[in-house]
Chains A and B, each alone.
Chain A
Amino acid sequence: MLFACVKTEQKKLRHSHLWAAFLIIPLLPTVMGAANYVNNLGLLKSEWYSLWTQHSLFYANFFYAPLIALYCSYIWRVEHLNYNWNHLMTMPVSAADVFLSKLLLAVRCTLLLQLWMWVLFLAAGKVVGLPGLPDPQILIWLLRGSVGAVAVTALQLVLSMIIRSFAVPIALALLGSVGGLLASNSGLGLFWPYSLMLMGMNANKTEDMVSSSLGFGVSTLVFFLVFTGAGILWLKRKDVHAT
């Protein structure tokens, strides 16, 4: 049944211009990062690694979580409109399948977004004249960032499910990211979900922020399970009010 749900969720995203937002918005942190790099060449001497510090500074701290939030808000917006809650909850589909199918799509989006950022990073490097190719480690960091993002994706999906406004969950994601920066800088990153993506991506740092892969993995998993469990439970228990 989960497969059928994923299929219908994909159908619901048809005719949307969401993909355009996901292609265009990541250009902003790319340009900002590259400009910062070019303006600080005196300080930034590690070539691709230095470019990554600038690139990730803007992307991981201010764009990644809100972009995930945008996707989650869109996924739920179609249900908040036109009494679709009644439709959604009278289909012979379990609460878990409803939530997990949306979650799978959102996770796929966060992964694709990272790969697109990798392409943009390469392009930016070439434009500012860096030689060769970046160390594959940076790609690993990006992918590790999307692992950390899974916890935030589950959280944003819960927020957008409960909050009917489109913009409020996105604003919360931005606040959460800023909090994530503060938390990871004070060494409390493992206790704040929005820190995990920054840490995974090694945002704006040259030394590895993930000192313990185990801690990172456990924290991500715990947050993910708690948010997903809460989301499914809410769907199961809460009375449906379509307006």
Chain B
Amino acid sequence: MEYIVETKGLTKSYGGKQVVKNVDLKVPKECVYGFMGPNGAGKSTTLKMLLGLIRCTDGQAWIDGKEMNQKNRLEILRETGSLIESPSYYGHLTGRENLEIVRTLKKAPEKEVDQVLELVRMERQQDKKAREYSLGMKQRLGLAAALIGRPRLLILDEPTNGLDPAGIQEIRELICELPKRMGITVLVSSHLLSEMDQMADYVGIINHGQLIFQDKLEALHEHSKSKLLLRVMNRTAALKILEGRQIEGRVTEEGILIPGLSDDRAADLVSALAAGGAGLYRIEERQKSLEDIFLSLTGRRESL
């Protein structure tokens, strides 16, 4: 498969401490690739290396087949849009003037400013000064700027950070549209699994600077199979019934946590619990959190 972003042994150290270790990213073309990890795991550092904002200590990165180095840097940047850390904007200039600057430097046709303004639905706020924008509008302005010049690759670092739920939904929809509508590959980072679930086709998980998982989103779901929480009046009776069926039950404050079951096995268990006097009064499905997935991927608990 051809990758639009590929890295080999990408490493960054600060004063002997490795913050990104040996990362081999593989981002297929025209998809949404979710780059996940807790805060401080090395997401931003990795993305900044891809853009040439910081130099890698070791390893290599290729964007669309071109190695990121001094020689290819400008050529790569011409085809790449990005939004790193927080939105960049010149506060004393209007939204439109900000976009005009990007348009001039990317040598894009004049009409693109109107196009991206429409895409992020900011036509009506374009003549307001950027410093008067809300955070959500600044993010949208940043996204609009990143889209100028029809990039083949869009690198977005936590684009929904600090947004209200409506803003998050809007950005998310926009990101999902891009690969289909414009043939853009989106590499987007986040520390929220739920967010990736709704937009990513592929997922990479980084933790302590190491890429611990990289595959299709469905493959991640294998790791994140849900659990069932049983709430019963009589725990002893319930545990005995579970034991008889060789289902591992873990007693928690809320109730008894068991692994996810197929529909027929669940139905069977429910009737057995009812018949056995366990007093089952509630059964809930529990999705694994990113924390739980880390646990199953790394075998140790990480605080997020």
- Chain A interface residues (CB < 8 Å from chain B): 4-5, 7-8, 11-12, 14-16, 78, 81-87, 89-94, 236-237, 239-240, 242-243
Contact = CB atoms under 8 A, between A and B. Distances in A.
A11 B100 contact: yes
Interface residues of B, number: 33
A91 B102 contact: yes
Contact of B88 (A86, A236, A237): A86
7 contacts: A8-B104, A11-B93, A11-B100, A83-B84, A86-B82, A90-B82, A242-B86
Interface string B102-142: 10111100000000000000000000010000000000000
A126 to B, nearest CB: 38
Contact of A14 (B48, B52, B92): B92
A164 B201 CA distance: 41
B65 interface: no
Given A5-B105, A8-B104, A86-B84, 18 more contacts: A4-B107, A11-B100, A15-B93, A15-B129, A16-B92, A82-B87, A82-B89, A82-B91, A86-B53, A86-B82, A86-B88, A87-B89, A91-B77, A91-B106, A239-B48, A242-B85, A242-B86, A243-B85
3 tightest CB-CB pairs across the interface, nearest first?
Answer: A87-B88, A239-B54, A92-B78
Contacts of A84: 88-90
A11 B84 contact: no
Contacts of A78: 90, 92
B63 interface: no
B14 to A, nearest CB: 9
Interface in B57-84: 70, 74-75, 77-78, 80, 82, 84
Contact of A4 (B70, B97, B105): B105
A11 B85 CA distance: 24
A94 B80 CA distance: 15
Contacts of B75: 92
